[in-house]
Amino acid sequence: MTTIQYSTDEKGIRIDHTTLTPRYSVTNDESLNEGIAYLNEHGYAVFSDVLSQEEIKTNKDLLWNFFENIPGCHIRR
């Protein structure tokens, strides 16, 4: 029997740390269709291969630049 391990976030919402979330590739039609079916059934899905490595780097830089330029914020990379 598997014991489900939960923690609670700051708002009191339980988080299940034992359930693995499947990932679906957008570059494979079968995987993409399975991901869409999972999304329709569960209300969420994780898709891989959505961005190129360059797009990931660019978006990380944009996010960090945004955080670092919030007035009064002391977040740094």
Mean predicted confidence (pLDDT) in 50-68: 95
Mean predicted confidence (pLDDT) in 7-26: 87
Residues 6+ apart with CB under 8 A from 49: 25, 26, 27
**Domain assignment present for 3:** no
Phi, psi of 63 (to 5 degrees): -65, -45
**Domain assignment present for 34:** yes
pLDDT band at 38 (very low <50, low <70, confident <90, very high): very high
**Domain assignment present for 33:** yes
**Domain assignment present for 17:** yes
Q: How many CB atoms lie within 10 A of CB 43?
A: 7
**Domain assignment present for 42:** yes
Identify which has the larger pLDDT, 11 or 50.
50
**Domain assignment present for 47:** yes
16: containing domain: 12-68
* Cα 32 from Cα 21, distance rounded (Å): 15
**Domain assignment present for 38:** yes
Helix H segments across 6-77? Answer: 29-42, 53-68
Number of domains in the chain: 1
Entry pTM: 0.58
Per-residue model confidence (pLDDT) at position 2: 60
